[in-house]
């Protein structure tokens, strides 16, 4: 019984409260993917830096890219964030192939690293962005070898659930 028992969990709840925003802090999310396009956080009133609303050109495109410092968190080289987002919210019963574990939640895409690697400052900015924009859960599927007090402090201030991966090697970890 080494599966995650998704059908049993869906019998209890499928993430039916669409106000649950799960942030994928990763390499970006291909938010135009058919399993994800309707599962994305709106971003039209996103806030960045001291709660200033980014209204230029309609807010954020479903999140923010701290690697390129723009409001389009699409992957540039690695699609790990898209994979993670699909695992979480891929639309159920749409004949597209995948079903997420919480298909009625919303994904906020935040690029913290990819082609240039993950940095502590981008991770901290991303956690703050998630807090400012009403996220309930952060998925941080990255690793590292070193203890970082600044990162620990940022994580401890996040008001929701912070989910970290286990067992990632450290070659793309914090530096």
Beta strands in 40-120 (DSSP E): 47-48, 52-53, 63-65, 106-111
Q: Are 40 and 62 in contact (CB under 8 A)?
A: yes
Instruction: For tokens 């941080």, name the residue.
Output: 140
pLDDT for 137? 96
pLDDT for 168? 59
Dihedral pair phi/psi, residue 57, rounded to 5°? 55, 35
Q: Where are the alpha helices (DSSP H) in the chain?
A: 6-12, 80-89, 120-132, 149-157
pLDDT for 47? 81
* Global pTM value: 0.86
CB neighbour list of residue 165: distance below 8 Å, 6 or more residues apart:
140, 141, 142, 143
pLDDT for 24? 96
Q: Per-residue pLDDT tens, the chain, 175 aa: give them.
A: 777 787 887 777 766 666 789 999 999 999 999 999 999 998 888 887 655 555 455 678 899 999 888 888 999 888 889 999 999 998 877 887 778 888 888 999 999 987 667 889 999 999 999 999 999 999 998 877 778 999 999 999 999 999 987 665 554 444 4
Query: Burial letters for 126-161: b for 16+ Cβ neighbours within 10 Å, e otherwise?
Result: bbbbbbbbbbbbbbbbbbbeeebeebeebbeebebe
């Amino acid at each position: 019984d080494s599966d995650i028992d998704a059908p049993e969990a869906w019998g209890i709840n499928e993430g039916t409260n669409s106000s649950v925003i799960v942030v994928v802090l990763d390499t970006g999310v291909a938010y135009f993917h058919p399993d994800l396009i309707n599962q994305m956080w709106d971003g039209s009133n996103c806030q960045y830096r001291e709660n200033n609303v980014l209204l230029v050109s309609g807010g954020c495109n479903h999140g923010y890219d701290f690697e390129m410092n723009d409001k389009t968190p699409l992957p540039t080289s690695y699609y790990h964030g898209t994979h993670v987002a699909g695992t979480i919210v891929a639309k159920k019963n749409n004949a597209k192939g995948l079903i997420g574990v919480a298909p009625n939640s919303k994904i906020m895409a935040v690029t913290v690293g990819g082609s240039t690697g993950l940095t502590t400052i981008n991770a901290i900015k991303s956690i703050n962005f998630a807090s400012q924009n009403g996220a309930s859960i952060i998925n941080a599927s990255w690793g590292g070898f070193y203890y970082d007090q600044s990162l620990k402090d940022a994580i401890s201030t996040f008001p929701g659930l912070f989910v970290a991966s286990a067992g990632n090697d450290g070659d793309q970890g914090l530096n």
